[in-house]
């Protein structure tokens, strides 16, 4: 059986890892899929993984385990919902989105509700298996006892309190319990763990980290997996979070604030006050012990640590009876939603013989935020070369984590010089030359492979149109509509002109064409970063202009920047990009002004 472990958020790792373990034990193949935002913190880089849905298409899986709400309909395999929590009262938990063939439920409470929904929709099946994330509570229940004992001795106390609220802005208690947590820590001396969801508002992360720095027995937990904290804590403080049920299944008391469940079977406060008193009452009296027993029976009655085994076996048996679906049939609206989230399916993925190899080349300087993602992105190339100008921000260290990458460090003179040198290092004739802030989407990757492996390529060099990204949003106008650059070419047919030091020019000895699919360009990180780029490019352009015999004047300082702005904002419809267009067009004009300001300075130095 070939299986995809599908991760959109970091919480998926702890849910899918037990399934991975069973797959390994039973000799099945598996492939992790992770979204780009998870790359830095993905804990299993020594295992097969991908960020590309094209790779998932080519993998031809039999099953896809998903602890999230969406999965691409066009990926082959049984689409299996394994859930990301136990909070059945949360909006959307029992919403049928029609993306899944099979729901593997945690306990009778969930099984009964999904079977009722099955009668209405009749396009999925339901099997109760238990929830794999909870397997560890049976297999590792006492694993952290020694460490817990050491923590309690260090702080001279006998209890650990875990505060783990939801991140949802409308439900989270984080803004309201800061003073209550402080009072609890100072009054009781208990150790307090603060554990926030990855998506918690950064404002509250900073506030609670500040509290942790001020009070020695408040510990802000940075680790991604909450299981250790759940096992060590004696009581949980939360709001409307699925972690409540995980904790109750450990048979320990819970205090929540303004929980939205219809039937709350633990201590729930309607106001954000009295935390210290509630903690002490629950420790001394434990008034909700009977209710916890009921939740254990209904939500997750499995104590054997074998939910992951049941999940894998259930899928195997289901496939033996029903076969493997090639894709999930969806309405047009739902297909469009999936396409917007994960990209359109790649038509006719290239599976032919690779008759020509590709060298992917990058030049870098301080590209810490981009380097991991771009190196993952060009893994389909046969050779990857990075020529770095002695980065100081951690770029080098990250490159060295990719053993397949050839790293060369060389002083930077100008772009033309550096790119000419980098091009010489390629051992293959076909070269894919990218900037670190560019990404090759799946459709373009497929087109590249088809092009270079054609028995009769139609050109020696290919332009790529680029989609300009303003942060994570597309900039559709502002002069970038027809932005294109040479990115794929034969080394034997090209060279860079030596008279340009910025926005270098590639000379092609042969035919040029344009590929259909667009490159993605993440050029705009924030205002100051892009402003710095425009000023830098303007100043480097001034060095080129110095060769020309003219002094910059009113025309250059006023008219040229104004025309740049007018051309991009009005004539090229930057106004339609709203605030994004205004910012980009202004900064592009600033780059022109910076060119002539620098040129004026350089000419004065020569006189």
Instruction: Please give the full DSSP string across 154-197, using - where no structure is assigned.
Output: HHT-S-EEEE-----TTT--TTTSHHHHHHHHHHH--EEEE---
| Domain termination residue (choose one: 524, 541, 569) | 524
CATH number at residue 222: 3.40.50.12580
Q: Are 393 and 368 in contact (CB under 8 A)?
A: yes
One domain for residues 295 and 151: yes
Spell out the residues 6+ positions from residue 80 whose beta carbon is closer than 8 angstroms to its own: 63, 64, 65, 66, 100, 101, 102, 103, 104, 311, 315
One domain for residues 476 and 409: yes
User: What was the pLDDT predicted at 90?
Assistant: 65
Residue 346 included in any domain: no
Domain count, the chain: 4
User: Cα–Cα distance between 102 and 81 in angstroms, integer?
Assistant: 6
One domain for residues 127 and 175: no
For 370, the domain range is 358-524
Residue segments in the chain with a per-residue pLDDT below the cut of 50? none
Alpha-carbon radius of gyration of the chain: 29
Q: How far is CA 329 from CA 97, 322, 325, 333, in A?
A: 12, 16, 10, 12
Six token digits for residue 412: 């930077």
User: What was the pLDDT predicted at 458?
Assistant: 86
One domain for residues 274 and 368: no
Backbone angles phi, psi at 467, to 5 degrees: -95, 115
One domain for residues 517 and 415: yes
pTM: 0.80
One domain for residues 198 and 242: yes
Spell out the residues 6+ positions from residue 550 whose beta carbon is closer than 8 angstroms to its own: none
DSSP notation for 237-285: EESS-THHHHHHTTT--EEEES---SS--SEEESSS--HHHHHHHHHHH
Q: How far is CA 106 from CA 78, 122, 139, in A?
A: 19, 20, 18
């Amino acid at each position: 059986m070939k299986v995809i472990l599908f991760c959109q958020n970091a919480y998926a790792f702890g849910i899918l890892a037990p399934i991975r373990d069973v797959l390994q034990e039973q000799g099945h193949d598996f492939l992790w899929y992770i979204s780009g935002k998870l790359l830095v913190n993905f804990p299993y880089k020594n295992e097969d993984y991908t960020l590309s849905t094209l790779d998932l298409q080519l993998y031809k899986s039999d099953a896809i385990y998903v602890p999230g709400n969406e999965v691409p309909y066009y990926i082959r395999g049984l689409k299996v919902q394994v859930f990301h929590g136990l909070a059945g009262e949360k909006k959307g938990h029992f919403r049928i989105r029609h993306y899944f063939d099979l729901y593997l439920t945690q306990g009778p409470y969930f099984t009964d509700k999904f079977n009722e929904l099955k009668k209405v929709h009749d396009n999925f099946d339901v099997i109760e298996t238990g929830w794999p994330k909870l397997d560890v509570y049976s297999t590792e229940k006492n694993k952290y006892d020694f460490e817990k004992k050491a923590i309690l001795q260090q702080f001279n106390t006998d209890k650990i309190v875990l505060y783990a609220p939801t991140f949802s802005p409308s439900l989270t208690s984080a803004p309201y319990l800061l003073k209550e947590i402080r009072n609890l820590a100072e009054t009781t001396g208990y150790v307090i763990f603060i554990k926030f969801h990855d998506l918690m508002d950064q404002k509250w992360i900073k506030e609670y980290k500040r509290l942790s720095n001020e009070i020695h027995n408040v510990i802000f937990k940075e680790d991604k997996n909450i299981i250790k904290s759940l096992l060590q804590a004696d009581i949980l403080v939360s709001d409307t979070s699925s972690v409540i049920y995980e904790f109750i299944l450990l048979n320990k008391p819970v205090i929540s604030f303004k929980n939205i469940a219809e039937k709350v079977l633990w201590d729930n406060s309607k106001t954000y006050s009295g935390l210290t008193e509630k903690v002490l009452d629950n420790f001394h009296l434990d008034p909700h012990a009977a209710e916890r027993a009921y939740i254990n029976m209904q939500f997750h009655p499995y104590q054997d640590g074998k939910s992951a085994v049941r999940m894998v076996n259930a899928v195997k048996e289901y496939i033996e009876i029903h076969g493997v679906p090639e894709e999930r049939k969806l309405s047009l609206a739902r297909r469009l939603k999936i396409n917007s989230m994960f990209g359109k399916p790649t038509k006719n993925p290239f599976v032919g013989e690779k008759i020509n190899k590709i060298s992917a080349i990058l030049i870098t300087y301080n590209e810490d935020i981009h380097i991991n993602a771009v190196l993952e992105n060009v893994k389909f190339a046969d050779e990857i070369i990075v020529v770095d100008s002695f980065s100081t921000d951690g770029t080098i260290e990250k490159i060295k984590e990719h053993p397949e990458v050839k790293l060369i460090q060389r002083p930077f003179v100008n772009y033309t010089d550096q790119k000419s040198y980098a091009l010489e290092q390629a051992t293959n004739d076909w070269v894919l030359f990218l900037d670190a802030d560019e990404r090759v989407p799946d459709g373009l990757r497929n087109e590249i492979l088809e092009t270079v492996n054609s028995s009769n390529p139609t050109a020696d060099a290919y332009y790529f149109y680029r989609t300009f990204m303003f942060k994570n949003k597309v900039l559709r106008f502002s002069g970038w509509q027809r932005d294109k650059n040479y990115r794929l070419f034969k080394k034997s047919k090209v060279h860079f002109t030596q008279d340009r030091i910025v926005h270098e020019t590639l000379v092609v000895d042969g035919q040029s064409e344009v590929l259909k699919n667009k490159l993605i360009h993440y050029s705009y990180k924030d205002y100051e970063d892009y402003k710095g780029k425009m000023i830098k490019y303007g100043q480097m352009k001034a060095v080129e202009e110095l060769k020309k015999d003219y002094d910059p004047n009113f025309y250059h300082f006023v008219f040229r920047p104004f025309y740049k702005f007018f051309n991009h904002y009005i004539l090229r419809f930057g106004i339609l990009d709203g605030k994004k267009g205004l910012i980009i067009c202004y900064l592009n004009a600033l780059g022109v002004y910076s060119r002539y300001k620098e040129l004026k300075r350089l000419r004065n130095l020569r006189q």
